[in-house]
A and B are shown apart, each in its own frame.
Chain A
């Protein structure tokens, strides 16, 4: 220790983070100083600039492998690939937020969040075209947190990133313009349970620090080589995993997922389902592969059990759902299990195909699920979105295009060949089987078949049922939603038919430094 020296900071390597955090900070200032009339377009532009800038800089940084910010951040292939994925999903989500053509009041977000739901003022504002634009800087902060999460090389930074990504999401969940009480309930639930999960994570962090004397992942790795079986260390690992699995909505830490997905504004749900999952799994991969990669026997049984639980819970409970958003929430739980199947695929020598497979799956799943939620925003009845399954009956006759796109996304989620979902599933199952976890893969295949039933149920409703007399209308989306749907549908097809180049990219990016 020779005095205080400035930490090494590679600003170039941090460019993706700087873009989104910059956009978030500027957004807050715009919120404070810009006149209300121009706020919405300006905020959208800033948030988009941040996300797109971050995406472009991850592309430019491709191939970078360095540890920077005094060892607190690892900028490597995995971090950049996942940051790029999150940036794309974030940009698409911001486009979904900015849709103004669907709701008669021109926005899916509440005009003034602080007005009590159901009050006179609230009813006045319900049809007002005023829009609250805090959602954009909040989204940027959340995006920044997520990107930081995937690059954290230090448990403390990981915890800070977890909070930075979570707090804005809690708020955004409560911003729905319609069915506000449901939305606020979702926000409170998410916050309370999220706070618990953070506490678990923090406690785990403390235990690991106690066992190894460091919060740096590489130091933990070295300590784990020597005494990986240390009770304190294993206990700490367990608590850390609980905290992360909560964010990734892995059963049995999933109970918030259906409620929050249902209550939150659908665009925010799309953002959470797609981007949060990527971020959470980024952190899971880093924690398990970097910090505990040498002591895999400590977490393999745990992840094995979690994967099976999550797949079974998601697939079986999904069968009973009658609400599209809740059904997609259970689908997300089942997919978290499939992703864990990929996480298991860590080879004995520390490489193995699991890393690349999981990364590809995250990209494919994120885009598909974003598209599916984007479509949910289009099907509307008098009081907002029509999310009850019975209202979707005969949709193919009202709107063949919406039904066809939904069928495509559902087939992808079910893992039918020639869609991205199949490629992803194939990749993770191959990774699992190659590392000898074939019983897990068989469970995953059987649960895929079970889950296919509820995806099919929507297709049956849309195509083979007669429309209900006063059924929902299908809104004509404005440009932003159209772009989102076009991009996600194209990606779902391309990643299914010609996935070669993206698989290559994931393969070459599957490098962790620590």
Chain B
């Protein structure tokens, strides 16, 4: 079974699905949704089968496929996964069907004076995005990785721009330009790598395994590292490069937000692990203090900003910026525990934040507003939704027993011996996380009934006491009353919604109490990465200086 090209199939199946969905005639547009669900479930099945075929004790890269693509550039269409990439593929496999379910009743933004637009394009872009996301994690050729990395922007751009909130044009362009700029800087480094390989191997190549063997001059390494780093830091995003994420996360349709934060941004942290550390070990070690500083600043800054948000989607986006700080801390501490924690964090954050986004989307679907201040007292009407909301929130703040706890704990204990100051500072972020999550939960679910629960007047007057930013966008106005005269009936979770959240809820709890299989899956790849960077896999002092670029 290991001979079956799982990775290729996981790229081709959704791409074909996207083509079929896009080609559906208008009369058959209703088929698009079930088709998208079927395709995404098939990809999940493929991902699971690939995991079964993967041997955790085997080679570093498995399930490999390689075909010469552009011989003149030395580019191969080479696919293969290690444990880290495979865990990301599993995450994609799980999240995309959930997203399809969560977006089931998604409607395009209203158009004044015209009928609703068809959603076919949404499903087609979603499937194409899935295909490209698989490609970006499965590529073992740096050029191919770059191609997927950039091509991935196009479907996400259209998802945000065509189906997002009121400020979607701005968000879409900002998203695209930020990522494109980062990508182009990385392209310079990609070409630089090729040139270096050309001069030291006699033949230019983009194959990851060959590039890993190169001995690159430390100064050149620093330049090349910076090119990759900027792209990944924008993608991940680390703090000074993060401003696009709250805009995109807030304006994107819920399904796209889940994938944006849950998977797309992981390309950044994945890139640190896969490309920055093994290819530029000396530069990684030299520049690690700077990266760690950014990471810790990100944890604290984003958490503080999140506390002040009134827009729930923006809030969740900011929490993600804080989480990415933790992941970067785990990666650049250069210990196996911390890096394992970071990889688990990548998976767990996708599940927990994905769930939180989905639940927030369900709240928004009921109220029509993204503002926290437009909500209140919902828990009495929607106990199930409130329960899932709380669970998602607790997973996000890494309560023991939820999946995120394991990863956050590993990151912190793994980093502490190496970087005590950074670790202690980052721990403050955990406290802030409790603050923003619980405040949001409390304001939305408890307290006096507000917003959607209070029967809206036909023509509500503008409310002067809006505290939040003016871009919240929403139909309902705040009506504060000590005891609302009437409350509107708000439906609790429907059967579809229960089906959407239950896999994620199950994973949150399961990985919270029994993370071992995931740890076993990623540990060999993490150890290989940490030994590439020249640090002791046991988690002791990284070698300082020296030019021996990690040849394992």
Chain A residues engaging chain B, CB cutoff 8 angstroms: 397, 411, 414, 416-418, 422-423, 426-427, 429-430, 433-434, 438, 441-442, 445-446, 448-449, 452-453, 456-457, 460, 463-466, 499-500, 503-504, 507
Contacts and interface: CB of A to CB of B under 8 A. Distances in A.
B169 A418 contact: no
10 contacts: A417-B147, A429-B187, A433-B195, A438-B188, A449-B181, A449-B184, A464-B168, A464-B172, A500-B71, A503-B72
Nearest to A497: B69
Contacts of A426: 73, 187, 191
Nearest to B109: A464
A416 B150 contact: yes
B192 A446 contact: no
Interface in B163-185: 168-169, 172-173, 176-177, 180-181, 184-185
A187 B377 CA distance: 72
A427 B191 CA distance: 10
B70 interface: yes
Contact of A434 (B71, B112, B169, B198): B198
A430 B188 contact: no
Given A416-B180, A441-B191, 10 more contacts: A411-B154, A414-B180, A417-B147, A433-B195, A438-B192, A445-B187, A449-B184, A453-B177, A466-B111, A500-B70
A445 B188 contact: yes
A423 B69 CA distance: 12
Interface string B97-120: 000000000000001100001000
A44 to B, nearest CB: 35
A415 to B, nearest CB: 8
B161 A464 contact: yes
Nearest to B160: A464
A46 to B, nearest CB: 38
A460 B69 CA distance: 32
Contacts of B146: 417
Interface string B528-544: 00000000000000000
Interface in B45-94: 69-73
Nearest to B178: A449
B405 interface: no
B519 interface: no
Nearest to A502: B72
Contact of B176 (A445, A456, A500): A456
Given A434-B198, A446-B181, A453-B173, A416 B161 contact: no
B21 to A, nearest CB: 15
Contact of B169 (A397, A422, A460, A504): A460
B192 A416 contact: no
Contact of A417 (B72, B150, B161, B195): B150
Contacts of B158: 463
A466 B112 contact: yes
A427 B72 CA distance: 10
B302 to A, nearest CB: 25
B229 interface: no
Nearest to B152: A417
Interface in B455-480: none
Contacts of A422: 147, 150
Q: Residue among B117, B158, B168, B187 with the most chain A CB within 10 A?
A: B187
B151 interface: yes
Contacts of A416: 150-151, 153-154, 180
Nearest to B176: A456
A508 to B, nearest CB: 10
A499 B69 CA distance: 9
B188 A441 contact: yes
A433 B180 contact: no
A466 B114 CA distance: 10
A448 to B, nearest CB: 6
B161 A460 contact: yes
B70 A499 contact: yes
Contacts of A457: 173
A434 B70 CA distance: 18
Given A433-B192, A441-B188, A463 B162 contact: yes
Contact of A452 (B71, B180, B187, B198): B180
Q: Residue among A411, A422, A445, A503 with the most chain B CB within 10 A?
A: A445
B166 to A, nearest CB: 12
A356 to B, nearest CB: 8
A446 B161 contact: no
B72 A504 contact: yes
A507 B191 CA distance: 18
Nearest to B194: A430
B354 to A, nearest CB: 26
A457 B161 CA distance: 12
A454 to B, nearest CB: 11
B147 A418 contact: yes
B187 A500 contact: no
A456 B173 contact: yes
Interface in B403-448: none
Contacts of A500: 69-72
A427 B168 CA distance: 35
A466 B192 CA distance: 43
Nearest to A400: B121
A445 B190 CA distance: 12
A453 B176 CA distance: 9
B172 A460 contact: yes
A365 B276 CA distance: 33
Nearest to B185: A445
Contacts of A507: 72
Nearest to B192: A433
Nearest to A499: B70
B173 A430 contact: no
A389 B148 CA distance: 31
Contacts of A453: 173, 177
B25 to A, nearest CB: 13
Contact of B70 (A429, A446, A503): A503
B284 to A, nearest CB: 21
Contacts of B147: 417-418, 422
B70 A433 contact: no
Contacts of B70: 423, 499-500, 503
Contacts of B69: 500
Nearest to A469: B113
Nearest to B187: A445
B151 A417 contact: yes
Contacts of A414: 180
5 interchain residue pairs of minimum CB distance: A445-B184, A417-B147, A503-B72, A449-B181, A464-B161
